[in-house]
Structure 1
Amino acid sequence: MDAVNEPMTPLIMLAVDGVIAPFGRPGSQWQEHRVVADGLTLTLWLNPATGPKLLKLAEITGAELVWATAWDHDANVEIGPLIGLPTQSVCVVGQDAPPDLAAKIWCFKTPRIAQYTAGRPFVWFDDSLTLRDAAYLRGVEGVGDHLLIHVEPYRGLTDDHMERARAWLAKNRRPRGGS
């Protein structure tokens, strides 16, 4: 297959708050950690099994993991090592939606996700996604196929969420060597 016809590598966009770090301890496998972001010490619940599961999901689907969180690059320093993730790419999302889009979306990250993904297929795990965000993404020219997976913020990312992503990403798998 030549480079022109080769599918683009799909992305797995990851939020931290409410997704990787639920608001509360959803089970005994979640461990309490103190982390620092923007000079503030925060207490988070993290499951050490999450990182290996995400790495496996990325490996079997040929996808790339990307932080899509207000933690920005701090996610690689403070969160990734605690759950077994190596340094990942970061979609810098900022803290606020552009004023002209605030009424069209719910999640402030949505316009930056649309820009960052640049036509690539993607799965986005977030606790702030609504139908307004889905409609916005459908209306932006050049946004690739995508699956938005709303994560309940007090439960965090579950195996069911990852299975939904795996099934969807299987349709967008990048070929590995060979014809």
Structure 2
Amino acid sequence: MKKPLLLIDVDGPLNPYAAQAQRRPEGYTTHRMRPTGWTEGKPLRVWLDPGHGEELLGLAEDYELVWATTWKGEANDWIGPHLGLPELPYIDWPQMHGKAPRGTFWKTQYILEYAAGRPFAWVDDDITAYDREYVEREHLAAALLLHVDPRIGLIRPDFDALAEWAAAL
């Protein structure tokens, strides 16, 4: 049996972009990046915690790690190396920020297409009750939708919840 998927968003869970601008969260390092499309003005400020890479690699024993971010494959160039992650598969969104089923986040329908009936856990800062209802109704396998506060990023209880969920499958 295949491992469940762990679908990982970058901005919010790994990069707490909504934290106070002048107060980098403890444990994070500052990186300046120019991913595709970021051509004007200052480079993008990204805060990353190297400890998240260790946590994710630990979860890779029970999950197949996949980028589920607007960074798409560029997460392998800009994010993964700072976290000590190997190259990961990614969801190549057919359309970003497009029309979504009533009330759901635009990613949700594509998450289900990518999962293709497999169990998955998804960490993102844009998950709502509508997304949970949609996934429960449309996805027959187990799913954990873990909302992450974009001011804080992933924290110990989040990693514990992911580990416990995978162990219970």
Decide: shared fold, TM above 0.5: yes
- Contact 2:67/2:90 (8 A) holds in 1: yes
Distance in structure 2 (CA, Å) of the matches to 1:90 and 1:33? 22
- Contact 1:92/1:112 (8 A) holds in 2: no
Structure of higher CA gyration radius: 1
5+ long unaligned stretches in structure 1: 1-6, 173-179
Moved runs in structure 1, 4+ residues, more than 3 A?
A: none
Match for residue 52 of structure 2?
50
Superposed displacement of residue 39, structure 1:
3.6
Aligned length, in residue pairs: 160
5+ long unaligned stretches in structure 2: none
Distance in structure 2 (CA, Å) of the matches to 1:116 and 1:131? 20
1:144 matched to 2:141? The reply is yes
Distance in structure 2 (CA, Å) of the matches to 1:102 and 1:118? 18
Task: Give the TM-score taking structure 2 as reference length.
Answer: 0.88
Match for residue 175 of structure 1?
none
Cα RMSD of the aligned pairs, angstroms, is: 1.5
SS of 1:90's equivalent in the other structure is coil
Per-residue CA shift, 1:29-77, capped at 9, x if unaligned?
1000011222413111100111111010121x2x110000011011111
Match for residue 157 of structure 1?
154
Match for residue 121 of structure 2?
123
SS of 2:72's equivalent in the other structure is coil
Distance in structure 2 (CA, Å) of the matches to 1:69 and 1:127? 11
Task: Give the TM-score taking structure 1 as reference length.
Answer: 0.84
Per-residue CA shift, 1:85-106, capped at 9, x if unaligned?
1100101234223x3x34341x
- Contact 1:118/1:144 (8 A) holds in 2: no
- Contact 1:104/1:136 (8 A) holds in 2: no
Q: Find 2:8's aligned residue among 14, 26, 31.
A: 14
* Higher deviation after alignment, 119-128 or 26-35: 26-35
Match for residue 70 of structure 1?
70
* Higher deviation after alignment, 18-27 or 48-57: 18-27
Q: Find 2:163's aligned residue among 162, 166, 170.
A: 166
Distance in structure 2 (CA, Å) of the matches to 1:26 and 1:115? 36
